[in-house]
């Protein structure tokens, strides 16, 4: 299980994003308020995944492999998808 890795990742991501966005990390969930809507990332323990809900690209589930969080549907990295959505 990758719970500790996921929670640390979300905390670190929050620290990075809060310089440019209204980002709050509370209780294992990262909420990003953006002009395009709210983005929510959290760790889903049963599936051992990070889930992203994006107002632009929809829902994504990510598994940890090769030190990255990879989308189960597209094979893209979480940071790549999030960056594209936030910069759109």
Total domains in the fold of the chain: 1
Tokens of 79: 């940071």
- What are the Cα distances from residue 12, in Å, to 5, 24, 42? 10, 11, 13
Q: Using one digit for the tens of pLDDT, what is the confidence trace for 35-85?
A: 999 999 999 999 999 999 999 999 999 999 999 999 999 999 999 999 999
**Which domain range does residue 8 map to?**
3-87
pLDDT at position 1: 83
Tokens of 53: 């809900």
We report the CATH number of the domain holding residue 50 as 3.30.920.10
């Amino acid at each position: 299980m990758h719970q500790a890795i996921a929670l640390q990742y979300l905390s670190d991501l929050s620290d990075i994003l809060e310089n440019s966005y209204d980002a709050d990390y509370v209780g294992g969930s990262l909420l990003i308020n953006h002009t395009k809507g709210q983005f929510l990332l959290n760790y889903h323990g049963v599936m051992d995944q990070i889930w992203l809900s994006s107002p632009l690209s929809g829902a994504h589930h990510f598994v940890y492999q090769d030190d990255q969080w990879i989308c189960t549907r597209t094979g893209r990295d979480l940071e790549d998808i999030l960056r594209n959505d936030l910069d759109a």
